[in-house]
Structure 1
Amino acid sequence: MTSVFLLRRFATFVATLLCASALVFAVLEVLPGNAAEVMLGPTATPEAVEALALQLRLDRPALQRYGDWLAGMARGELGTSSAYGTPVAELIAERLVVSLPLAALAMGLTTVLALALGLYAAFHHGKAGDLGVMVLSQVGIAVPSFWFAILLILLFSVKLQWFSAGGFPGWSVEAGGGLWPGLKALLLPAVALAVVQAAVLARVTRSAVLEVQGEDFVRTARAKGLSRRATLWRHVLRNAMVPVLTIMGLQFGNLLTSAIVVENVFYLPGLGRLVFQAVANRDLVVVRNVVMLLAAAVVLINFVVDLLYAWVDPRLKVQDR
């Protein structure tokens, strides 16, 4: 990759992060009333509101508080939760050990299911298999992840009793958990998240593969005697990965945000449940930092996808010069 390509992509990454941080900060700034009043509720005494306002440094100008927040994030200092009395960085670190494995497991299931179904549909274009995949994907897109999560609980937890209906045992064997119990607790939530995403990605994969199959270089490869299957794996798939990577990058960010609802359905102590509890407790310090973290994750994933573009399709580096 050329240095100019990397520099431009990194500059875009930093600029997007700054815009996202300004937007998150501004949205919470325009809430009606003082942030301390919002956090403490209408029954709070003026003394308590004033004390919390001083703790949150609300007496300072907005630009100065925004700069302090950015500097604190750069140092890993995100403030203290008013509801828990715990540093926000510690709360987020505790919840990431659940949310990140859940998102990774869901993304793995999404990729395997989507690529398998999309390639199968493209390879059997116009046949019954193609029609079946399209019907299944349409149903998958129409099903909300939280509703599918409830169906999974009713089937596998209530009726078959193969999985727990909720909760997370932890990754530590000493605490009664471990690798397998932890993965088992995350499997149903991951499936609930993956079904909708896999349905979308399967259709994109099918469309991308069919589009590339109509290119001249594919017909040339077939004319040289290469089998249809070999042409698909050697020539079609790599060229069809650019739009697929785009959707995959967006989907991983969507998995982190969609987990807010699914984690609450399964009572998982992840970032989603933390956001839900912070909103219920009016803990704006936690809400602001977690929302910024999710936004940064989406921006970072898209930055990585841009780099993968250049690896998959070197023509993009030439166009960017």
Structure 2
Amino acid sequence: MNKYLINRLLIAIPTLIAISIVIFAILALAPGDPMGEFAMNPSITAEVRENIRKSLGLDQPIHIRYVKWFTAFITGDMGYSFTSRSPVIGLILQRIPTTLWVVGSAYLVGVLLAVPLGVISALKRNTIVDTILTTLVFFGFSLPTFFTGLLFILIFSIQLKWFPFIYNSTLQVTDLQSFIAQVKQSIMPISVLGIWQTAMLMRFVRSEILENIHQDYVRTAYAKGLPRFLVINRHVLRNALIPVVTLVALEIPSVFTGALVTEKVFRVPGIGALLIDSIYKNDTPVVMAITFIYAILIVIFNLVADILYGLLDPRVKYTK
């Protein structure tokens, strides 16, 4: 196991370096100028704009800029935003609690619902229960989150007036009343993301349960007199969750980077909304930091998924 982890880490380092080079080159060569907003301001002369460009390091060759950025990043310095002139790490840390609350809660709801519903749908195959669940999954997976979000706003905010459709980022949770208000404004974005996550994961759980439920080891377990509950939980579900673990692990980074569309629909001030706004404003340091953090999280959770394989299935051996 230790040798396997070391080898994977040694592979991950050049992989992340290559990813950082590609991302930095794409953003550096992309159309758009961070100084474009100053060009329309007559009070800022060309000389001043050039001085600002030099202070931001935009006058240097791309390879020098990359080396400086990467060296600073690995020491914890993500640079400064071109637009707000605030530290990038401060902007990200400011948005993370909201993203973890909304997107993390939705992901947790999706996992907790998808596994039991997928098992029930597989065990009740070709019954009315299975038909209802698969139909709901089809709609939940097919409808884009922006459409579902707008539908929720029309029904629950405008018509029924149950929940606010604009997320209040200034709300401070200090007492029970403010906590209830925080929960109310979070219900719709969490529900929209939770429906999509549940639909996506439930399809895989159902298909894996159906694939394993007729295997020889299941018939052997029944032949030994084990009750159905133990057979499903100790044997079928444990094997069926192995490919699902990969999907769950690869989706966890999105919990930290936010849901781009849903955050914009409900005006949730999360990481996803920050990324979109930064792209519009050509704020390269912010875009670069969030994108590279996302790449790091994907590499890490890929490794986590591989480790969980061994815990779920003893037949998995780590050779390299």
What's the TM-score once normalised by structure 2's chain length?
0.89
Question: What amino acid sits opposite 1:8 in the alignment?
Answer: N
Distance in 1, matches of 2:62 and 2:231, equals 59
2:20 aligned partner: 21
Question: What amino acid sits opposite 1:14 in the alignment?
Answer: I
Root-mean-square deviation over aligned CA pairs: 2.5
The alpha-carbon distance between structure 1 residues 115 and 74, as it changes in their structure 2 partners (threshold 3 A), is same
Distance in 1, matches of 2:73 and 2:136, equals 44
Q: Is 1:9 the counterpart of 2:12 in the alignment?
A: no
Distance in 1, matches of 2:14 and 2:102, equals 29
Distance in 2, matches of 1:222 and 1:113, equals 27
User: Following TM superposition, by how much is the alpha carbon of 1:175 offset from its aligned partner in structure 2, in angstroms?
Assistant: 10
- Indicate the SS of the match to 1:315: coil
Q: Is 1:155 the counterpart of 2:155 in the alignment?
A: yes
Specify every segment of 5 or more residues in structure 2 that has no aligned partner in the other structure, as ranges.
none
Distance in 1, matches of 2:292 and 2:36, equals 20
Instruction: Report Cα offsets for 1:59-89 as digits up to 9, x if no partner.
Output: 4332332122122112221111121121111
Distance in 1, matches of 2:298 and 2:311, equals 20
2:130 aligned partner: 130
Question: What amino acid sits opposite 1:21 in the alignment?
Answer: S
Contact 2:99–2:257, Cα closer than 8 Å, also in 1:
no
User: Following TM superposition, by how much is the alpha carbon of 1:254 offset from its aligned partner in structure 2, in angstroms?
Assistant: 4.4
Distance in 2, matches of 1:62 and 1:310, equals 43
Contact 2:96–2:256, Cα closer than 8 Å, also in 1:
no
1:315 aligned partner: 315
Distance in 1, matches of 2:272 and 2:266, equals 11
User: Following TM superposition, by how much is the alpha carbon of 1:244 offset from its aligned partner in structure 2, in angstroms?
Assistant: 0.8
1:241 aligned partner: 241
Question: What amino acid sits opposite 2:196 in the alignment?
Answer: V
The alpha-carbon distance between structure 1 residues 36 and 264, as it changes in their structure 2 partners (threshold 3 A), is closer
The alpha-carbon distance between structure 1 residues 39 and 31, as it changes in their structure 2 partners (threshold 3 A), is farther
Contact 1:171–1:179, Cα closer than 8 Å, also in 2:
no
The alpha-carbon distance between structure 1 residues 210 and 39, as it changes in their structure 2 partners (threshold 3 A), is farther
Moved more, 198-207 or 133-142: 133-142
User: Following TM superposition, by how much is the alpha carbon of 1:261 offset from its aligned partner in structure 2, in angstroms?
Assistant: 1.3
User: Following TM superposition, by how much is the alpha carbon of 1:207 offset from its aligned partner in structure 2, in angstroms?
Assistant: 0.9
The alpha-carbon distance between structure 1 residues 120 and 166, as it changes in their structure 2 partners (threshold 3 A), is same
Instruction: Report Cα offsets for 1:216-270 as digits up to 9, x if no partner.
Output: 2111001111222321011111111111111112233345566111111111111
Distance in 2, matches of 1:14 and 1:175, equals 46
- Structure 1 segment 96-245 matched on structure 2, within 5 A: 96-169=96-169, 172-174=172-174, 179-245=179-245
2:30 aligned partner: 31
Question: What amino acid sits opposite 1:67 in the alignment?
Answer: V
Question: What amino acid sits opposite 2:145 in the alignment?
Answer: S
Question: What amino acid sits opposite 2:293 in the alignment?
Answer: L
- Indicate the SS of the match to 1:316: coil
Contact 1:5–1:317, Cα closer than 8 Å, also in 2:
no
Contact 1:9–1:306, Cα closer than 8 Å, also in 2:
no
Instruction: Show structure 1 runs of 4+ deviating over 4 A.
Output: 35-45, 174-180, 254-258
User: Following TM superposition, by how much is the alpha carbon of 1:176 offset from its aligned partner in structure 2, in angstroms?
Assistant: 10
Q: Is 1:266 the counterpart of 2:266 in the alignment?
A: yes
Identity level (%): 33
User: Following TM superposition, by how much is the alpha carbon of 1:38 offset from its aligned partner in structure 2, in angstroms?
Assistant: 5.3
What's the TM-score once normalised by structure 1's chain length?
0.89
User: Following TM superposition, by how much is the alpha carbon of 1:144 offset from its aligned partner in structure 2, in angstroms?
Assistant: 0.3
The alpha-carbon distance between structure 1 residues 108 and 158, as it changes in their structure 2 partners (threshold 3 A), is same
Q: Is 1:65 the counterpart of 2:59 in the alignment?
A: no
Contact 1:263–1:272, Cα closer than 8 Å, also in 2:
yes
Contact 1:103–1:190, Cα closer than 8 Å, also in 2:
yes
User: Following TM superposition, by how much is the alpha carbon of 1:177 offset from its aligned partner in structure 2, in angstroms?
Assistant: 8.1
Contact 1:13–1:303, Cα closer than 8 Å, also in 2:
no
> Aligned pairs, how many?
318
Distance in 1, matches of 2:76 and 2:3, equals 30
1:50 aligned partner: 50
Contact 1:149–1:192, Cα closer than 8 Å, also in 2:
yes
